[in-house]
Amino acid sequence: MTPGLLRPDQSLRLVETYPPSAPARQAIIQVEDLSIVFDAPSGQVVAVDRVSLAVAQGEFVSVVGPSGCGKSTLLNAMAGLEQPFEGQVLIAGEAMRAPRPEIGMVFQQPHLFPWKSVRRNIAHGPRALGKPKAEALRIADDLIEMIGLTRFASAYPHTLSGGMQQRVAIARALANQPRVLLMDEPFGALDAQTRAVMQDNLLELRERINATIVFVTHDIDEAILLSDRVLIMSAGPGRILKDLEVSLPRPRSSAIVAEAAYLALKRDCLDLIRSEGRRAFEQMEIKT
Amino acid sequence: MRIGRRSSASARLSILVAVLSVPAFTGVWELVARSGIVNAVLFPPPSTVAVAILEWVRSGQFFADLMASLSRVAAGFAIGAAGGIVLGVLTGRFRLVSSLLSPLFHILRPIPPVAFVPIVILWFGLSETGKLFLVVWGVFFTVWLATHIGVQKVDRGLIRAAQMLGTPQPQMLWEIVLLGALPYITVGLRTAVSISFYTLVAAELAGAFAGIVYRIEIAQQNMQTGQVMGGLAALGLLSFVADRSFAILAERAVWWR
Ligand SMILES: Nc1ncnc2c1ncn2[C@@H]1O[C@H](COP(=O)(O)OP(=O)(O)OP(=O)(O)O)[C@@H](O)[C@H]1O
Ligand SMILES: [Mg+2]
């Protein structure tokens, strides 16, 4: 790390060593030397390149990086939707070979079942896990109230706005009470205003549920605002450049993005990404 | 404003022409047939056709023929469509099942169902089973292919979302995949409706004891051209009604689009 890049009074702390030394709390997600390779028409594409990371129980970790750097692939591997080429992903000590209901996922697109009402969409998970209908619907109703869509409980997805659909998708993922919630640019498709509201909602929500959250975004503001830790990925092959701890006080709200300290912090963060990116680029040139 | 008035006037004119179109052509047909320019036995006027239809209905044969044809089409459609959907979901979803069945289906599918009439007569004689077989055969491949393709086009995100929620395999197949492919399946089913009528014609021409096409054939042997034309009109109306009601049904089935 470049000395003097950050002043000591700043609440952002850069963790130099990587992989991080054993976290104080029990790690629930362990990614060990994970590589994921795709067969593309143009040859093999290394989407994730020997990534290791650990996420502690209850932690909120963001993954930031440019488009195509392998963020979704990494998240899909944690979800059990993508199998490792090398290395492994352990959640609660168990290798992820297939999706597990204790791990919830919110995608960039809501992917709601279009033939089901809001209520039935949210009740889908509990029903699939064999809960009685009445109980599943009660869970759904509670979540609908929490996301503030009571009026739309029996509406169908195509009649909702993008933001409302994404809120339903979040509620649907929460209905199975997941221990881990994976979110892949969940607000990426929303306009700036809706996005800010959704971020505040998520911060509030986080106080109420005790899930571990891994949040993919390419928005630095969003990452700093929401997270305990930000992982910065390099552009392909997907590798983790830096592991930054964000120790801004909680509770936070999206209003902090206007504060001077926050702005300075963000600028330094961007500088870091730029210099690291340049270094990675130069290394690549030397290699070839 | 003037443009609006002119276009509404032309719209009214086209509606008027559309309404008068069929009566006008029927009138011309009546005049030509009665004028003696053509042989009225081979080309009877619409009035003669109408009398023949009326006689057909009054004798009670029409209803029996209608039921015979309709039950063949309905049963054949139901069996062929159900088989096509079930196997289409399986071949579309499981590569191994597809490797097993798709090559065979792709070889059999392009053979026009009508070409199976001779072998169906060998196998089943003039029984109802043979007729059912022909209609089922015609419907099955169309529905199978539409389902197979539809299943492969189901939004991957929807399947992944369902997987993440712990959806068990049977529910995945018969709810998520099936409903996800429904827009494609309904297109296949609608094509299959008209195919079921084509194959019905072949099945009844091959030899039957009742049915609309059977009646047309008998009338032809007796030189009752009016009855032949009446039969054609009945068949046309029947398949038109079937197609329209299916289209409405399909729209309701995929209401979320
Ligand atoms: N199924 C696939 N087949 C082949 N290549 C793939 C596949 N999925 C992803 N890739 C490739 O892997 C790399 C990483 O993709 P990924 O979707 O993980 O990126 P991302 O960081 O999520 O990008 P974005 O921010 O645009 O969502 C890309 O180069 C992409 O082309
Ligand atoms: Mg992505």
Domains in chain A: boundaries? 27-102+178-287
* Proximal ligand: closest to the CA of A234: 1
As beta bridge partners, residue A184 has A216
pLDDT on residue A21: 45
B27 with B138, same domain: the answer is no
B109 with B130, same domain: the answer is yes
Mean pLDDT to the nearest integer, A92-110: 93
Q: Quick check: A153 pLDDT over 50?
A: yes
Q: Indicate which residue's Cα is closest to atom 5 of ligand 1.
A: A38
- pLDDT confidence tier of residue A19, bands split at 50, 70 and 90: very low
Q: Which domain holds residue B182?
A: 46-253
* Proximal ligand: closest to the CA of A36: 1
pLDDT on residue A209: 82
What values do phi and psi take at B177, rounded to 5? -70, -45
Token pair, residue B164, equals 């993440």
Q: Is B156 exposed, middle or buried (0-12, 13-18, 19+ CB in 10 A)?
A: exposed
Radius of gyration over every alpha carbon of chain A, rounded to an integer in angstroms: 19
pLDDT on residue B100: 96
Identify the residue with better confidence: A198 or A31. A31
- Whether B91 and B145 have beta carbons less than 8 Å apart is answered as no
Residues in chain B: 257
d(CA A38, ligand 1 centre) in Å: 9
* Predicted structure pTM score: 0.84
Considering only alpha carbons, which residue of chain B is nearest residue A172? B165
In sequence order, what DSSP letters do the residues of B196-216 get, joined into one string?
HHHHHHHHHHT--SSSHHHHH
Containing A182, the helix (H) or strand (E) segment is strand A180-184
Architecture of domain A27-102+178-287: 3-Layer(aba) Sandwich (3.40)
- pLDDT confidence tier of residue A239, bands split at 50, 70 and 90: confident
Of A104-118, A190-204, B76-90, B234-248, which range is least confident? A190-204
Strand pairing report for A180-184 and A212-217: parallel
Chain segment A50-64, per-residue pLDDT in tens: 999 999 999 999 999
B207 with B94, same domain: the answer is yes
> What's the number of CA atoms in the CB half-sphere (13 Å) around residue A286?
6
B31 with B63, same domain: the answer is no
Token pair, residue B1, equals 């404003």
pLDDT on residue A22: 47
Identify the residue with better confidence: A192 or B101. B101
> What residues contact A127, with CB distance under 8 A and at least 6 apart?
A133, A136
- pLDDT confidence tier of residue A192, bands split at 50, 70 and 90: confident
Helix (H, G, I), strand (E, B) or coil at A266: helix
User: With an 8 Å Cβ cutoff, are B164 and A81 in contact?
Assistant: yes
The rounded percent of chain A whose pLDDT value lies above 70 is 87
Considering only alpha carbons, which residue of chain B is nearest residue A127? B167
d(CA A216, ligand 2 centre) in Å: 8
Q: Quick check: A256 pLDDT over 60?
A: yes
Separation CA A233–CA A55 (nearest Å): 16
CA dihedral B217, B218, B221, B223 (to 10 degrees): -100
d(CA A1, ligand 2 centre) in Å: 28
B29 with B109, same domain: the answer is no
B203 with B161, same domain: the answer is yes
What ipTM was reported for this prediction?
A: 0.83
Asked if the C-beta of A111 comes within 8 angstroms of chain B's C-beta atoms, the answer is yes
Chain segment A88-98, per-residue pLDDT in tens: 999 999 999 99
- pLDDT confidence tier of residue A9, bands split at 50, 70 and 90: very low
C-beta of A69 in contact with ligand 1 (< 6 A): yes
Chain B CB contacts of A173 under 8 Å are 164-165
- pLDDT confidence tier of residue A20, bands split at 50, 70 and 90: very low
d(CA A74, ligand 1 centre) in Å: 10
> What's the number of CA atoms in the CB half-sphere (13 Å) around residue B3?
0
- Whether A174 and A104 have beta carbons less than 8 Å apart is answered as yes
Task: Indicate which CATH number applies to the domain containing B223.
Answer: 1.10.3720.10
Strand pairing report for A229-234 and A60-64: parallel
Considering only alpha carbons, which residue of chain A is nearest residue B160? A81
pLDDT on residue A236: 64
**In terms of DSSP H, where are the helices of chain B?**
2-35, 46-58, 61-93, 95-108, 117-124, 128-152, 156-164, 169-171, 178-205, 212-221, 225-253
Chain B: nearest CA to A64, how far in angstroms? 22
- Whether B118 and B134 have beta carbons less than 8 Å apart is answered as no
Radius of gyration over every alpha carbon of chain B, rounded to an integer in angstroms: 24
B87 with B125, same domain: the answer is yes
pLDDT on residue A206: 85
Separation CA A244–CA A228 (nearest Å): 9
pLDDT on residue A123: 97
B206 with B86, same domain: the answer is yes
B168 with B231, same domain: the answer is yes
Chain segment B140-189, per-residue pLDDT in tens: 999 999 999 999 999 999 999 999 999 999 999 999 999 999 999 999 99
Sheet with strand A43-56: strands edge to edge: A43-56, A27-40, A86-91, A94-95
pLDDT on residue A23: 46
> What residues contact A83, with CB distance under 8 A and at least 6 apart?
A36, A77, A97
Count the domains in chain B: 2
Chain B CB contacts of A98 under 8 Å are 163
User: With an 8 Å Cβ cutoff, are B256 and A115 in contact?
Assistant: yes
Separation CA A19–CA A25 (nearest Å): 15
> What's the number of CA atoms in the CB half-sphere (13 Å) around residue A59?
24
CA A78 remoteness from chain centre: 11
Give the residues of chain B that fall short of pLDDT 70.
1-6
Residue A221 one-letter amino acid: D
Unique residue bearing structure tokens 């292919």: B145
pLDDT on residue A284: 62
B210 with B121, same domain: the answer is yes
Separation CA B136–CA B199 (nearest Å): 9
